[in-house]
Amino acid sequence: MAEEARLRAVVELARGMAAVHTPRETWSAAAEGARRALTGSFAALSVWERELGRLRVLVNTGERALGEEEFPEAEAYPVHQFPEIAELLHERWAGGGEPRAWVAVAQDAQRVAGAGGRAVPGPPGGSWGRAAALRRRGRGCCVVAPIVLHGRAWGELYVARPVGAPVFDRSDADFATVLASVVAAGLAQTERLEEARRLAFTDALTGLANRRAVDTRLDEAIESHRTDKAVVSLVVCDLNGLKRVNDTQGHAAGDRLLERFGSVLSLCGAMLPGALAARLGGDEFCLLAVGPSADDVVRVAGELCRRAARLRLGEGVACGVASTGDPIGPLRSSRRLFRLADAAQYRAKAARAQKPVVAGREGPDDPVVRLADAPAPPAGERRRIRGRRSPGGELP
């Protein structure tokens, strides 16, 4: 019966990790599933950060001690406090050894007999720092199972029991080793999903966000504007001279121009906290800012124009800005802001403007741009604008 119960626990752990989607949900499912499988009172999942020489806790589940957070921001343990971390998570596994779990107990620093008289597998290297940690937190024993991912040490699974509960034995340690393998498989699946999501929202050439990411963020931003009156601003840029570079110097040079402008856009976007820098496609880019004032966004757009003009390749950039901080009227949908910025960009391009054109502003440096006043875009441009519909299919 015990074997059947453990088999069911393995299946439940695997199912629990398969049913979640975000990294945090995965960490919680792993730790909580292992805690239940091993009838522990507490469990944690930690990642091995080689470059910092520490084990960082990702999640704590179950009965947490004073000061322990579910998702701690800064709970980490240097290797010198627990030498067995370095031995198992670096040397032994890197050399192809078998990853085995071990047990630590709070009551003394010697190996003791677990339930049923089976010898408790203690930490490798004779380190008993875990025992002191158990005593500090009022726990009786723990089992620690190293996790290997893609052939390398990734971190550890930790499950504890309270004082007075049966001490983990050899069979528990062996079972924890199996659970760690299941957790590793779940973590690998989550990594693949996260990479797929990243690629789905990333432009492959520049590494910036893509049009899908902008549409998603813009819809969220407009909703924030409606509920919290947050200022939402959109800067749409058209890179001048890309066709000439492609025709005269080749597409490799054109790609370099796109990459370099993407870097400039990213640097300028960093001047606006939380701004999203994106390539919409072809020679068209944008910045989406939520929170900064319209004046701050226009200032950064001006800096973007100046830096783009200094690029060795290309002929600068045409830049249009639309912001809810300016008198542009009510926004029925996120696409209207996009269309206003696009119309401003087209006017800047037609006038060969060296500064951004801003929708809703008047004056020699900030001409007012209304859809009715803007020059009619060419057929291809009209088709592109018409294709920008809101999620419900509503045109701006």
DSSP letters, 160-226, are EEETTSPPP-HHHHHHHHHHHHHHHHHHHHHHHHHHHHHHHTB-TTT-SB-HHHHHHHHHHHHHHHH
Q: pLDDT for 368-387, tens place per residue?
A: 444 333 444 444 443 343 34
User: What was the pLDDT predicted at 106?
Assistant: 85
Task: List helix spans (H) across 334-388.
Answer: 334-350, 379-386
pLDDT tier at 127, thresholds 50, 70, 90: low
Least Cα distance to 186 among 42, 8, 12, 5 occurs for 12
Q: Give the C-alpha distances (Å, rounded to integers) separating 155 from 27, 54, 281.
A: 12, 10, 40
Q: pTM for the full model?
A: 0.57
| 113/172 Cα distance (integer angstroms) | 13
Q: Mean pLDDT over all residues of the chain?
A: 81
* Between 58 and 128, the higher pLDDT residue: 58
DSSP letter for each residue of 123-177: -GGG--HHHHHHHHTTEEEEEEEEEEETTEEEEEEEEEEETTSPPP-HHHHHHHH
Q: Is the pLDDT of residue 366 over 60?
A: no
- The predicted pLDDT at position 391 comes to 34
Query: Percent of the chain having pLDDT more than 90?
Result: 36
More reliable by pLDDT, 345 or 127: 345
205-217 per-position pLDDT tens digit: 888 888 888 988 8
Q: What percent of the chain has pLDDT over 70?
A: 80
- The arithmetic mean of pLDDT across residues 51-70, rounded, is 90
Query: What's the mean pLDDT in 189-200?
Result: 78
Could you give the CA distance from residue 221 to residue 202 in angstroms, rounded to a whole number? 19
pLDDT band, residue 302 (cuts 50/70/90): very high
Which range of 28-32, 95-99, 313-317 scores highest in mean pLDDT? It is 28-32
